[in-house]
Amino acid sequence: MTPAPAARARVKVRAPELVGRGWLNTGGKAYSIADFRGRVLVLDFWTFCCVNCLHVLDELRPVEDQYPAELTVVGVHSPKFEHEADPEALAAAVERYAVHHPVLDDPELVTWRAYAARAWPTLVVVDPEGYVVASMSGEGHGPGLASLVGELIEEHAAKGTLQPGDDPYVPPPPADTALRFPGKAVVMEDGSFIVSDTSNQRVVHLEADLETERARWGDRSSFNEPQGLLLASPGLRDGLGVDLLVADSVNHQLKGIRFSDGSIHVLAGTGRQLRERTGGGPALNQDLSTPWDLAWLDDRVLIAMAGTHQLWAWTPGDAIEQGVVEVVGGTTNEGLRDGDAHEAWFAQPSGLCTSADGARVWVADSETSALRAITRGDDGTFTVETHVGTGLFDFGHRDGPAEQALLQHPLGVTELPDGSVAISDTYNGAIRRYDPARGEVSTLAKGLAEPSDAVVERDPDTGETRLVVVESAAHRLTRVALPQDAQRVDGPARRTQRPPTELAPGPVDLEVTFVPPKGQKLDNRWGEPTMLDVSASPEGLLLDGGGRAPGLRRTITVASGIRQGTLHVSVRAAACDGDPDTGEVPEHAACHLFQQDWGIPLTLVEGAPGTLTLDLRGT
C-alpha cells in the first residue's frame, strides 16, 4: 500500500474576504466574510458548465439539511467559459440546478485566487472563528465533509464561539413558464414533438405548434433532470413494450416510457452514481453517472455518460432484466485525445447523433468545445476523431476551416439532410454547421438562448427543411430556417482565464495531498487504494513521469524548450471506514472514492519552483 502523504502542520490562516460582482439568492443583500462568523462556512468554488460541480451540489444538499442552523454554504461562481460570466446566464443556472444557498458572482476570479483554488469543484471549510481549516478538490467528499462539520460544531460549541443563526438564503420569485430549461427533443412522424422538460422533472409531448400539450409523463418521483430522448426501434417496442428512451441524468438511469399507459420503466442503472472505473455489466445492477444523451449504434443504444467522460452502450435483452451495459469509449480521463476508442479521452460528452448511413455517431464534447465522432472499423473496433476543437481551455466563435474554427461548450448535434452537421453551440447562443466534405464551419443562426438540441423538420405544405431548436434558457422550442448560404462569423479566440502556475523546466516533484476523513483510512485489502495519472499538452511538454501508476507522489520532467502548456493530473483515492491495520472495522463498513481531474495551465520559467502540490483532501 502506498502511504498517504503526511498531513501538514496546521497553521491558522484567516479566510480571505469574499469579493465579487454581486450576490444571488440573498434578496439583494451583500455579505462579507465577517457576516458568517459564528457558523461553519463551506465555500463551494464551482462553474455551471462542470458536471463534477453539479455532482457536488447534490453531495452538499444532505449536509446542509443536517446542520441548518450551524452551517452556511456559499457558492463562489468562478467561470470557465465567457458565457458563464454573463450575470443573467448565472442567475438562470442557479435556478436550473436548484442552488438553494447564497452565491457570490466572481467573474474576475478574485476570490478564486485569494483562496488559491486550482480546480472546479473545490470546497473550502472555514470555522466559526473565521479560519480556513480544510480544502477539498473533486467529488466524493459528502460524508467526510458532514463529519468535519460535526466536529467543528462540537468544538466551537464547547468554546462558546458557535453562534447558530438564520439561513441567509432567500429564494428567487417562482417561475411562470410552461417549460422550464428543456434539454432535448425528438420529432414524431405526425409532426409533433417530444421534449425533456428538464427542470420540471417530466417529459412532454407537444403539438406541431410547439406550445399545445398533448401528453406528459413523469414527475419528481420518476425523473430528476431528464435530458436525452430516443425513439425506440420497432424491435424494442415489440420486445420490451417501451416507445421512448430517456436519459434520466441526476437519477443516473436509462428509462423507457410506454405511450399506451404512460408507465415508466428502468432499463439501466441502479439510481446510484458510478464511483469507480468499470467496464460495465448487467444493466439493472450497474451504476451509471449522469447520462446526458442517447443515439442508436447499430442495435445498441449509445449513451453519452457525461459524469465519467465516456461513451457507454446498452444492449437490450429479451426482457428488461436481461439488458447489458458496457463502455464503448473513454478512459474516464477528462481531455481531448483521439484514436482507439477505449484509449480516447472525452470531456463531458453531452450530445449524440447517428449519421444517416449508420457509419458514425457524432459527439458534442462540451468541455473541450469540440465536435467529435466515433466510427466502427471493418475489424469491429471503434475509433474516435476530432473534427472541430483543440482542447479543454480553448473556445470562441470563429468560422472557417475546421482546424481553426472555435465553438463554446456545445450540448447538441444534429445531422442535416445534406450530410452536414448542425451543432447546438450552447454558450455562443448559436447554431453552427460543419461541412465534412469541405472541412469548414459556418454559422446558421445567432441570438439564441442557450440552444441545447435541435431536430430537423420538413414543412408538409412547402417542403421547406428547417430546424426546431431547443432554446433551453428561453424555456421554449423555436423554428430556425436553414439558409442556402450560411452566415460567417470571425470572432476572437478565447482561452479560460485562470492564472497559470509557474514551474521550472526539468524535474518537478508532484504531490497530491490526501488526508482521509476522521474514521477512515486508506485500505489495500482489495487492491491499490490510490492512482495517479499524469499527461501534458502540447506534445513534448512532459519528458518523463507521465502515465498511470499507483501512489500520490511522483517526479516528472518538464521540457525546457516550451514556454506554456497544460499539465493534466487525474487522481483517485479510496478510503474505508475503520482501521484495517488494527482490525477495528465496523460490521457494515463502507469504502468511499475521492477523485479529481486537474488541467493546470503552466508557464515555464527558469528559477521558478520545482514542486507542485495539489490538494485532493487536505487539512
Query: Per residue in 394-446, pLDDT tens?
Result: 899 999 999 999 999 999 999 999 999 999 999 999 999 999 999 999 999 99
What single letter denotes the amino acid at residue 61?
R
Report d(CA 498, CA 78) in Å as an integer.
10
Rg (CA), the chain: 24
Has residue 523 got a pLDDT over 80?
A: no
Looking at residue 7, what is its pLDDT?
41
pLDDT digits (tens, 9 = 90+) for 82-101: 999 999 999 999 999 999 99
Least confident of 4-18, 68-82, 357-371, 471-485: 4-18
Q: Looking at per-residue confidence, does 102 or 573 come out higher?
A: 102
Residue 572: the pLDDT is 86
Average pLDDT score over residue span 178-198: 97
pLDDT beyond 60 at 46? yes
Neighbours of 385 (CB within 10 A): 14
Best CA proximity match to 596, nearest among 128, 116, 139 = 139
Domain 1-174, second-level architecture: 3-Layer(aba) Sandwich (3.40)
| Placement of cell 459556418 in the chain | 442
Which pLDDT band holds residue 554 (cuts at 50, 70, 90)?
very high
Lowest average pLDDT, out of 119-123, 323-327, 386-390, 486-490, goes to: 486-490
Give the pLDDT of residue 2.
40
Percent of the chain exceeding pLDDT 90 equals: 76
- The pLDDT of residue 4: 42
Ranges 247-261, 477-491, 566-580: which has the least confidence? 477-491
**Cα gap 401→435, rounded to integer Å:** 10
Domain ranges of the chain: 1-174, 177-329, 331-497, 500-619
Work out the burial of residue 378: count CB atoms within 10 Å of its CB; fewer than 13 is exposed, 13-18 middle, 19 or more buried. exposed
Q: What is the Cα–Cα distance from 276 to 425, expressed in whole angstroms? A: 31
Q: Are 95 and 172 in contact (CB under 8 A)?
A: yes
| Residues 6+ away with beta carbon under 8 Å from 270 | 252, 253, 284, 285, 286, 287, 288
Residues in CB range of 98: below 8 A, 6 or more apart:
57, 199
Residue 19 has a CB neighbour count (10 Å cut-off) of 15
Report, as an integer, the average pLDDT of 27-54.
96
Provide the 3-class DSSP secondary structure of residue 86. coil
Tell me: domain 177-329, CATH 3.30.1360.20, correct? no
Question: pLDDT tens digits, residue range 588-605?
Answer: 567 778 888 888 889 999
pLDDT above 90: residue 140: no
What's the rounded mean pLDDT across residues 457-478? Answer: 91
The DSSP code for 240 is: H
Mean of per-residue pLDDT scores for the chain: 92
Q: Looking at residue 465, what is its pLDDT?
A: 87
pLDDT at 599: 84
Q: Best-predicted range by mean pLDDT among 194-203, 388-397, 527-536, 608-617? A: 194-203
Give the per-residue pLDDT at 156.
97
Whether the pLDDT of residue 619 is over 80: the answer is: no
Q: 108: left (phi > 0), else alpha (psi -120 to 50), else beta? A: alpha
Query: Is the confidence at residue 584, as pLDDT, over 70?
Result: no
Q: Please tell me the predicted confidence (pLDDT) of residue 65.
A: 96
Cell of 562: 516550451
177-329 shares the fold of 1-174: no
Asked if the model's pLDDT at residue 217 lies above 50, the reply is yes
H or E segment and range at residue 158: helix 142-159
| Mean pLDDT of the region 197-225 | 97
Q: Between residues 377 and 304, which one has the greater pLDDT? A: 304
What is d(CA 384, CA 375) in angstroms, rounded to the nearest whole number?
A: 7
* Cα-to-chain-centroid distance, residue 163: 36
323 touches 284 (CB < 8 A):
yes
pLDDT of residue 364: 98
Any idea what DSSP says for residue 153? H
pLDDT in tens, 288-344: 999 999 999 999 999 999 999 999 999 999 999 999 999 999 999 898 999 999 999
- For the cut 60, the answer to whether the pLDDT of residue 10 exceeds it is no
- State the Cα–Cα distance between residues 173 and 175, nearest whole angstrom: 7
Specify the pLDDT at position 6: 40
522-536 burial, b at 16+ Cβ within 10 Å, e below that, comes to bbeeeeebbbbbbbb
Domain 331-497: homologous superfamily in CATH = TolB, C-terminal domain (2.120.10.30)
Indicate if the alpha-carbon torsion angle 154, 159, 161, 163 is positive or negative: positive
Tens of pLDDT, residue by residue over 572-582, are: 888 887 765 55
Tell me: cis bond preceding 538? Omega within 30 of 0 counts. Answer: yes
Per cent of the chain over pLDDT 70 is 95
Give mean pLDDT, residues 221-228.
97
Q: Could you tell me the pLDDT band of residue 457, with boundaries at 50, 70 and 90?
A: very high
Amino acid 517: pLDDT: 86
User: For residue range 53-75, what is the model confidence (pLDDT) as tens digits?
Assistant: 999 999 999 999 999 999 999 99
Question: What pTM did the predictor assign?
Answer: 0.89
